[in-house]
Structure 1
């Protein structure tokens, strides 16, 4: 009788485990499939394009004007925020998701800008940096409507190259419940757990357990920021080639490293890590501009790109109908944004999540299990195995 009971219980638990595994870790709806293939960009019209309603685009313009009129705000590396600052930022992001005064909600309305043919004109060319700077300002202005004290942090992902326990998302404090939630599959921990988008797809990331994806190269990012021989914009954006040494080429690595929705251009802003990542790209560009100023380099907008017509200076910015591509280089866009330098030794921004490696004089991630707790959520099948072992022990031993 005991043996029969064990068999029945085992079959029940295994069935439940398979179902729960499908629900919690897998993607049953094909939500990670590519929605728009940028390889087809050259086949579609070069005219202004935006899928967002004109009334919502007008709201974007209001946010843009607020961003320019707003007082100075300081963007910091997210691991250097204190607990209250980090929580205020997270609360503002969640508040946008819950605010349905703009369809479908304010967070997704902004995320939906970065979709379909719009992505043709904002990648692989000169417009990449300027358009995304405008995008960040609009997102930040929406956050500051929720909390005036909030500024958009940045994620200096180059630091995560130096993790002691291998540079994979599952080992980063960024992907714990006190920051952005787990990195392995559907996001089921942290402040954005089980977020749904307009297509009812659940927010998800792809684990990088085999370390096949790489983060941005610290050496290349340092070259862009500080090497005096690299001082023209055309040296750091795509031309006709997929150049991984450019800032855009390097930026692609973090998208793929996080994986899931972040690795798909149409979906990437649906994961809040997108805005932290692009804030670091903007920070790097800001450092590059400071270098130009020291060298008395006056930048002129030069159209380069794989689909160069979309990057022409006087072409209207997709979804930002009041701007031209060249406006992305206007110094007034950065006038009220102050970037705190990326953490450096010896204090590493006074972050409890970073420590100074005195040998190489660089800040490295602290072990997340010592500072924030692990993001590991054990699948139910593992718990069921433990339960079966316990039952076996009590019934037969």
Structure 2
């Protein structure tokens, strides 16, 4: 028995050392160290530009038209979906990744919209919210081509601020096999395990790697949704405002918190958590618009941002040649989407993954539920898993040397300073 104990200790220490090596090698080109280069936005051409073929953009237009003609559908917080609903959503996402009828596949084709010039025109200004709303509508329409009953969920990351022992990310059920898979490096578990992009980059995450990065602030969200003095769009997107008091600035937190591919603008949509996060951002904007209506405020598109010219109202919306930036504010874009309110006490959306903290009257992750899920694995299976992981990590170390390929120009932009 003592011999078996020593073997287990040795394996644990070996795995830890390999994981350190894995962390060093997984990003040899320093992609995760680069910052958003603001000057690069000004150096590139101001003309309309999209790297995708016109036929692919035509497909986006078809999806857009389908989204508007599809009729109202309801988006829910992902933890309030029942098991069958969540599995149907996951299956539809995987089906897009496997569908190569559009080059290179339907999932990656949509992810590629969030690259190159759009890194400048869809961030740090007025176009941020409208451009991403169009992106979500197109992605959701593609999902519904796979399963008519699927709608895009959203992830209320604010709830994960209240995890027990925060900021330990493993407490979040979002990053378990039943949802999005593991959060500690290359995604090896769950429905999206070993996903690769066009450059053979393997999907990876590094949740809260510095143990200090907060998620979206509940105070800022409350200000956006309820403070009556905050009632114009220019107050919640980047301009001369304090970046961290804006919705756009707060949205950066989750990108940094998830880390890995989510931390880099060009790579972020490769992680399925991207659309869940931006659906939450869109949910907050929807609540903000509701407040505007109650105040009888009629929003007008005002071009603000660090790269103002790219946010001009009549400029073509990048990769969506049939739209102008100002079209992102068109009420018809939101008319076909109904957001179910985020989980609230006392029932917390009837989710088995959430519970009500009666002291503060907020919903928090139910760690007991998450622990019960993890404890279903017996110790014998865990030992086998350790042995298997040793072999997998050793094998994957070779491919890590190739990670990221050419990381130059706009591909180097991260969410650190957006």
TM-score by length of 1: 0.88
Distance 1:304 1:144, change over 3 A: same
Q: CA deviation at 1:48?
A: 0.6
Aligned-partner SS, 1:150: coil
Q: 1:11, 1:32 → 2: CA distance?
A: 33
Spell out, residue by residue over 1:61-89, the C-alpha distance to the aligned partner (whole angstroms, 9 max, x if none). 00000000002110000000000000000
Partner of 2:161: 161
| 1:220 paired residue number | 220
Cα offset, 1:166, TM superposition: 1.2
Deviation at 1:381, TM superposition (A): 9.9
CA distance in 2, matches of 1:15, 1:345: 45
Q: Which residue of 1 aligns with 2:152?
A: 152
Partner residue, 1:362: 362
C-alpha offsets along residues 267-292 of structure 1, whole Å, 9 cap, x if unaligned?
A: 00000000000000000000000000
Post-superposition offset of 1:227: 1.3
Distance 1:259 1:19 in 2: 20
Contact 2:111/2:270 (8 A) holds in 1: yes
SS at match of 2:114: coil
**2:63 aligned with 1:63, yes or no?**
yes
C-alpha change, 1:284 and 1:12, in structure 2 (3 Å) is closer
Q: CA deviation at 1:253?
A: 0.3
SS of 1:359's equivalent? Answer: coil
What is the distance in 2 between the residues matched to 1:44 and 1:375? 53
Query: What do the CA deviations read for 1:236-276 (whole angstroms, capped 9, x no partner)?
Result: 01014561100000000000000000010110000000000
Indicate if the aligned counterparts of 2:11 and 2:386 stay in contact, CA closer than 8 A.
no
8 Å Cα contact 1:21-1:380 kept in structure 2: no
The whole-number CA distance in structure 2 between the counterparts of 1:25 and 1:92 is 34
> Residues 115-143 of structure 1, C-alpha deviation per residue, up to 9 Å, x if partnerless?
11221000000000000000000000000
Q: Tell me, in whole angstroms, the C-alpha distance in 1 between the residues paired with 2:330 and 2:303.
A: 16
Task: Assess, with a 3 A threshold, how the Cα gap between structure 1 residues 217 and 54 changes in structure 2: closer, same or farther.
Answer: same
Q: Which moved more, 1:165-174 or 1:278-287?
A: 165-174
Q: Deviation per CA, 1:1-46: give whole Å up to 9, x if none.
A: xxxxxxxxx9999999977875699516648445984441011111
Q: In 2, are the aligned partners of 1:175 and 1:375 still within 8 Å (CA)?
A: no
Cα pair 2:209 2:259 within 8 Å, conserved: no
Superposition pairs of residues 241-280 of structure 1, within 5 angstroms: 243-280=243-280
Computed over aligned residues only, the root mean square deviation of the Cα atoms, in angstroms, reads: 2.8
Aligned mates of 2:329, 2:232 — CA distance in 1:
13
Length-normalised TM-score, structure 2: 0.84
| DSSP-derived class of the 2:346 partner | coil
Aligned match of 1:199 = 199
Distance 1:210 1:257 in 2: 9
Residue 61 of structure 2 aligns to a residue whose secondary structure is helix
Cα-to-partner distance string for 1:82-125 (whole Å, 9 max, x where unaligned): 00000000000000000000000000000011011221000000
- Report the CA distance shift for 1:166/1:380 in structure 2 as closer, same or farther (over 3 A): farther
CA distance change for structure 1 residues 374 and 123 in 2, over 3 Å: closer, same or farther?
Answer: farther
Residues 307 and 210 (structure 1 numbering): CA distance in 2 closer, same or farther, change over 3 Å?
closer
Q: Counterparts in 2 of 1:1-397, with a 5 A limit?
A: 27=26, 30=29, 32-33=31-32, 37-240=37-240, 243-367=243-367, 369-373=370-374, 380=387
Question: 2:321 is paired with a residue of what secondary structure?
Answer: strand
